[in-house]
Amino acid sequence: MRLPFWLILLCVFFISACARKQDSLSATEQGGQAEAVSTTQNSQPSAKAIKITSKPQAKKPRADKKPPAMILLGDAAEIETLGSFKKLAEKTGLETDYQKQRIEYLLERLSRTAYNFLRNGETHNSKKAILLMRYKWVKFGSEVQTAEDFVDKIASGSRTSGEPYYVKANQRYYLVKDILFFELEQLDQALLRHKEGKVD
């Protein structure tokens, strides 16, 4: 059966209209996607615009390699007046608690000093320093047999950071380890003079 001419024209018109509508929808979707991509790209900061700055590191103190003179924690004339010294002077050095008493002498000297201590970048007075050392002494006491062990394993530095402890005196930094070993030297010399009856 042959279709009327007007019906054929109507079908062609309808098909063309559908095709144009489909093309319009496709173009709209592509435009939206392009806009979304453009917006995302624009929202990301340019690498050139980012300025990465590292956090400034605190300047670590450095003890003088050759300080002009090693310091004591207090007046040398005070040594023989301390209670811990008098207890040591009564001992022969062979007692089981002799080394413990030498450590107590160091702690008594620490308790009377006016100097501040530096631990992991933080400043502590002598009271806080002693509390920390006593805590470490209890915790790691099995490693301490002598006063020298105490200085080396407890009072020298932080086990957490590996940083040494410092004493700041006379605008200089001294290693706590060096000062305490010097204190022990002075203690032993004073005890020797005392036992020989040559106390100055």
Structure tokens at 132: 């920390």
Q: CA-CA distance, 199 to 182, in Å (whole number)?
A: 19
Dist CA 36 CA 34 (whole Å): 5
pLDDT of residue 103: 97
Taking CA atoms, 98 is separated from 77, 85, 90, 129, in Å, by 22, 11, 10, 23
CA dist 22 and 2 (Å) reads: 30
Please enumerate in sequence order all residues whose Cβ is within 8 A of that of 103, keeping only pairs 6 or more positions apart, or say none.
137, 144, 147, 150
Is 133 within 8 Å of 108 (Cβ atoms)?
no
The span from the CA of 154 to the CA of 103, in Å, is 11
Q: What is the dihedral of CA 36, 40, 46, 49, to 10 degrees?
A: 110
Structure token pair of residue 7: 């019906």
Predicted pLDDT at 117:
95
CA distance 94 to 87: 13
Q: Is 86 exposed, middle or buried (0-12, 13-18, 19+ CB in 10 A)?
A: exposed
pLDDT of residue 145: 95
pTM of the model as a whole: 0.66
DSSP 8-state secondary structure symbol assigned to residue 195: H
Low-confidence ranges of the chain (pLDDT < 50): 34-41, 43-58
- Residue pair 151/143 in contact by the 8 Å Cβ criterion: no
Q: Percentage helix, strand, coil, to 5, in the chain? A: 55, 10, 35
